[in-house]
Amino acid sequence: MVARKLLNPESLAGSVRLRFDDHTLLVQSITEPYVALAHIPGPGIITCLSGNGRFILNGETQLIDKTRYLITDASSRLSIRITNADAQPLLLFFQSDLAARALAGHGAELCWLGRAHPMTALLQERLAWLVRLGNNCSSFSALKADALIGDILRELILRAAAAAVAGAKLPVSRQSTRVQLYRRLSLAREWIDSHYGSPLSLDILAGQAALNRQHFLRMFRDCFGLTPHQYLTEVRLTAARRFLTETAQPVTAICRLTGFESPTSFSGLFRARFGASPKAWRDTQSRIATVRR
């Protein structure tokens, strides 16, 4: 892995197509405005460790901070505008030939959604590790960095391939329409992921996808294999299991945090999904943790 500061913006004028002979991590604390004209960076990930910046990806402006990230691919056009002094952008670009071979094996485009994604805890941890490894030239650090970047690339490719499979289920003939519809449905799904603790009606979710409720319901089920309500319930139950395992909050509090209407319905759904009541699940996980210690 090569670690260095952002590229000279003057070298990116004229739609330059970049090529990376090694995985390349670009990290820099911004002290003065940084503006880079449109260029083609190749497959990679963009986020900010602190502050925020405006990244224009294929003509759409995205405000990126530490809670969001962008994916670029071999055909993505990117321009950058960062003006706030506390910003610390991070751009990770994959070795060009390796990324191309890996993507060819799955028949998928890496940039499957074309807009910002919510940052995950796992990706955030992996990127933080890469920053810590930095320019360390030890063989262990190099191997660790390559392993981390390989894991990131594989996860992105698997998600892109899954998106392609899901999108192919939509009953529309034109590819451009299918992509646009998949993006709309993904917006609603990500809204569920981020707002599962709040009351979410079918009308609210359909509004996020800019579709009428019946069309949204049918398309969501065709694409993801679950109705919006079923997906919401699954997200809530998974979150509740995490809270039960990782926190000491009372079951009733977890019930409210995860959006369930009553402790009784929460307990029944949790038991049906995981084979034990919330309290029994927590007790079992506590005993397992005690044995491991």
Q: Choose the CATH number for 175-292 among 2.40.110.10, 1.10.260.40, 1.10.10.60, 1.25.40.10.
A: 1.10.10.60
Whether 82 shows a pLDDT value over 90: the answer reads yes
CA–CA dist 153, 30 (Å, integer): 27
Across all residues in the chain, what is the average pLDDT?
A: 88
pLDDT for 257 beyond 90: yes
pLDDT tens track for 174-207? 877 888 898 889 889 989 998 999 999 999 999 9
Mean pLDDT (whole number) for 62-78: 90
Every domain of the chain and the residues it spans: 2-168, 175-292
Residues 23-37: pLDDT tens digits?
Answer: 999 999 998 889 998
Number of H helices, E strands in the chain: 10, 10
On whether the CB atoms of residues 162 and 108 are closer than 8 A, the answer is no
Burial code (b: 16+ CB inside 10 Å, e: under 16) for 245-270 equals eeeeeebeebbebbbbeeeeebbebb
| Residue 106 reports pLDDT greater than 70 | no
Question: What's the pTM value of the predicted model, to 2 decimals?
Answer: 0.74
User: Ramachandran region of residue 51, left (φ > 0), alpha (ψ -120 to 50) or beta?
Assistant: left
pLDDT of residue 94: 92
Q: What is the pLDDT of residues 42-61, one digit of tens each?
A: 899 999 999 999 999 988 89
Q: What local confidence, expressed as pLDDT, does residue 13 receive?
A: 65
Rounded Cα–Cα distance for residues 230 and 223 (Å):
13
Q: Which fold has domain 2-168?
A: Jelly Rolls (2.60.120)
**CA–CA dist 259, 197 (Å, integer):** 4
Closest CA to 246 of 286, 274, 273, 275: 286
